[in-house]
Amino acid sequence: MDIDPKKIKPKRNVVLVELVKPPDVTKGGIHIPETAQDRQKLEHRVGKVLAVGPGKKFADDPSDARIPTDTKKGDIVLFDPPYAAAVRGHPDLFLVEDDAILATVTE
């Protein structure tokens, strides 16, 4: 079953992240070999937030009060691959809990 990424709506404090591909060539024109690119895949990854869940519910609270996530749609984030779930059929899309996002990248 092929999932349309536009129809994915994260729950709780989960965010949908699309990988930002690192460049193959540096600004100075140096080619980055595949072995170095493979190493980057094992380390922290950079992605753009496409969708954000509504946040965690407070424990034992009868109302629908929630703790909002720290990230927002459009943020560029750094996350740890072991804590991300890949979306089937879309190798560049991941569902990541907000707590597993290590940093937000500012320009």
List pLDDT tens digits, range 45-102: 889 999 999 888 877 777 778 888 889 999 999 998 888 888 888 888 999 998 889 9
Alpha carbon distance 49, 76 (integer Å): 6
DSSP code for 5: G
List pLDDT tens digits, range 14-52: 999 998 876 666 677 777 676 665 555 545 688 999 999
User: Edge-to-edge, what's the strand order for the sheet holding 101-105?
Assistant: 84-87, 90-97, 14-19, 45-52, 76-79, 101-105
